[in-house]
Protein backbone atom coordinates (compact mmCIF):
# COMPACT_ATOMS: atom_id res chain seq x y z
CA UNK A 1 0.00 0.00 0.00
CA UNK A 2 1.40 3.41 -0.95
CA UNK A 3 -0.04 6.23 1.10
CA UNK A 4 -1.08 9.65 -0.31
CA UNK A 5 0.08 11.38 2.87
CA UNK A 6 3.10 11.41 5.17
CA UNK A 7 3.90 9.28 8.19
CA UNK A 8 4.77 11.18 11.37
CA UNK A 9 3.17 13.65 13.73
CA UNK A 10 3.51 16.91 11.80
CA UNK A 11 2.92 18.54 8.46
CA UNK A 12 5.57 18.20 5.77
CA UNK A 13 6.33 20.50 2.88
CA UNK A 14 7.90 18.96 -0.21
CA UNK A 15 8.92 19.89 -3.73
CA UNK A 16 7.51 17.45 -6.27
CA UNK A 17 10.10 18.41 -8.92
CA UNK A 18 13.15 17.22 -6.97
CA UNK A 19 14.57 13.71 -7.11
CA UNK A 20 12.45 10.71 -7.92
CA UNK A 21 9.06 11.81 -6.71
CA UNK A 22 9.59 14.41 -4.03
CA UNK A 23 11.97 15.91 -1.54
CA UNK A 24 11.20 17.55 1.77
CA UNK A 25 11.69 21.32 1.72
CA UNK A 26 13.19 22.66 4.93
CA UNK A 27 11.54 25.85 6.20
CA UNK A 28 9.99 26.62 2.84
CA UNK A 29 6.74 28.43 2.43
CA UNK A 30 4.72 28.26 -0.73
CA UNK A 31 5.11 31.97 -1.42
CA UNK A 32 8.90 31.93 -0.93
CA UNK A 33 9.76 28.98 -3.17
CA UNK A 34 11.10 29.34 -6.71
CA UNK A 35 8.64 26.78 -8.07
CA UNK A 36 5.71 27.55 -5.78
CA UNK A 37 3.29 25.58 -7.99
CA UNK A 38 5.29 22.41 -7.21
CA UNK A 39 5.42 22.91 -3.43
CA UNK A 40 2.87 20.94 -1.40
CA UNK A 41 2.18 20.65 2.29
CA UNK A 42 0.63 17.42 3.49
CA UNK A 43 -0.69 16.28 6.84
CA UNK A 44 1.28 13.61 8.68
CA UNK A 45 -0.32 10.78 10.63
CA UNK A 46 1.33 8.34 13.06
CA UNK A 47 1.97 4.98 11.38
CA UNK A 48 0.01 3.18 14.11
CA UNK A 49 -3.04 5.39 13.44
CA UNK A 50 -2.84 4.51 9.75
CA UNK A 51 -2.69 0.80 10.58
CA UNK A 52 -5.73 1.11 12.84
CA UNK A 53 -7.61 3.10 10.17
CA UNK A 54 -7.13 0.33 7.61
CA UNK A 55 -7.85 -2.41 10.15
CA UNK A 56 -4.39 -4.02 10.01
CA UNK A 57 -1.82 -4.28 12.76
CA UNK A 58 -0.09 -7.31 11.20
CA UNK A 59 2.42 -6.25 8.55
CA UNK A 60 4.58 -8.68 6.58
CA UNK A 61 6.91 -6.00 5.19
CA UNK A 62 7.31 -2.29 5.91
CA UNK A 63 9.68 -0.15 3.83
CA UNK A 64 10.50 3.20 5.41
CA UNK A 65 12.23 5.97 3.44
CA UNK A 66 11.25 9.47 4.55
CA UNK A 67 14.45 11.42 3.88
CA UNK A 68 15.87 11.72 7.38
CA UNK A 69 12.93 11.28 9.75
CA UNK A 70 13.04 7.46 9.86
CA UNK A 71 14.32 7.25 13.44
CA UNK A 72 11.64 9.66 14.66
CA UNK A 73 8.90 7.70 12.88
CA UNK A 74 10.10 4.40 14.37
CA UNK A 75 10.17 5.93 17.87
CA UNK A 76 6.42 6.64 17.62
CA UNK A 77 5.42 3.05 16.88
CA UNK A 78 3.91 1.17 19.86
CA UNK A 79 5.80 -2.05 19.08
CA UNK A 80 3.78 -4.08 21.61
CA UNK A 81 0.59 -3.32 19.61
CA UNK A 82 1.81 -4.14 16.09
CA UNK A 83 3.22 -7.24 14.44
CA UNK A 84 5.69 -6.10 11.79
CA UNK A 85 7.67 -9.12 10.59
CA UNK A 86 10.32 -7.46 8.41
CA UNK A 87 11.28 -3.93 7.50
CA UNK A 88 13.88 -1.98 5.59
CA UNK A 89 14.88 1.49 6.70
CA UNK A 90 16.91 4.04 4.77
CA UNK A 91 19.48 5.36 7.22
CA UNK A 92 21.92 7.55 5.32
CA UNK A 93 19.98 10.77 6.02
CA UNK A 94 19.16 10.25 9.70
CA UNK A 95 21.17 12.38 12.15
CA UNK A 96 21.15 9.57 14.74
CA UNK A 97 23.10 7.23 12.42
CA UNK A 98 22.73 3.52 11.70
CA UNK A 99 24.16 2.28 15.05
CA UNK A 100 21.47 4.21 16.98
CA UNK A 101 18.82 2.95 14.57
CA UNK A 102 19.93 -0.64 15.09
CA UNK A 103 19.92 -0.20 18.89
CA UNK A 104 16.36 1.13 18.68
CA UNK A 105 15.25 -1.83 16.59
CA UNK A 106 17.07 -4.36 18.80
CA UNK A 107 15.36 -2.87 21.85
CA UNK A 108 12.06 -3.60 20.08
CA UNK A 109 12.96 -7.26 19.40
CA UNK A 110 14.33 -7.02 15.87
CA UNK A 111 17.56 -8.41 14.48
CA UNK A 112 19.61 -6.74 11.79
CA UNK A 113 19.45 -8.98 8.74
CA UNK A 114 21.21 -7.17 5.89
CA UNK A 115 22.86 -3.90 4.91
CA UNK A 116 21.79 -2.78 1.44
CA UNK A 117 23.74 -0.12 -0.46
CA UNK A 118 22.84 1.61 -3.67
CA UNK A 119 24.57 4.57 -5.29
CA UNK A 120 21.93 6.92 -3.84
CA UNK A 121 20.72 5.08 -0.75
CA UNK A 122 21.84 2.98 2.21
CA UNK A 123 19.28 0.77 3.90
CA UNK A 124 19.25 -1.78 6.64
CA UNK A 125 16.88 -4.75 6.83
CA UNK A 126 15.45 -5.95 10.15
CA UNK A 127 13.56 -9.11 10.98
CA UNK A 128 11.43 -9.60 14.08
CA UNK A 129 13.23 -11.92 16.54
CA UNK A 130 10.54 -14.60 16.26
CA UNK A 131 11.16 -14.85 12.48
CA UNK A 132 14.97 -14.49 12.53
CA UNK A 133 15.42 -18.28 12.80
CA UNK A 134 14.09 -18.57 9.23
CA UNK A 135 16.96 -16.53 7.75
3-state secondary structure 54-100: CCCCEEEEEEECCCCCHHHHHHCCCHHHCEEEEEEEECCCCCCHHHH
Whether residues 118 and 71 fall in one domain:
yes
CA-CA distance, 133 to 113, in Å (whole number)?
11
pLDDT value of residue 25: 47
Q: Which one, of 45, 42, 43, 63, lies nearest residue 54 by Cα?
A: 45
Domain span including residue 1: 1-45
CA-CA distance, 24 to 39, in Å (whole number)?
9
Distances (CA, A) of 89 to 17, 30, 103, 107, 113: 24, 30, 13, 16, 12
Whether residues 64 and 123 fall in one domain:
yes
pLDDT value of residue 56: 93
pLDDT value of residue 28: 46
Model confidence pTM above 0.85: no
Q: Domain tally for the chain?
A: 2
Extract the residue ranges of the chain whose pLDDT is less than 70.
1-43, 134-135
Whether residues 39 and 67 fall in one domain:
no
pLDDT value of residue 27: 44
pLDDT value of residue 11: 54
Whether residues 135 and 71 fall in one domain:
yes
50: in domain: no
pLDDT value of residue 108: 95
Torsion-angle region of residue 85: left (phi > 0), alpha (psi -120 to 50) or beta?
A: alpha
Amino acid sequence: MILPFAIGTCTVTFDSTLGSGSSIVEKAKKGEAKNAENIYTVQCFPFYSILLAVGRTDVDYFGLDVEGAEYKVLETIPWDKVNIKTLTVEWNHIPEGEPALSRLMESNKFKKSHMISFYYSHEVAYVQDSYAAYL
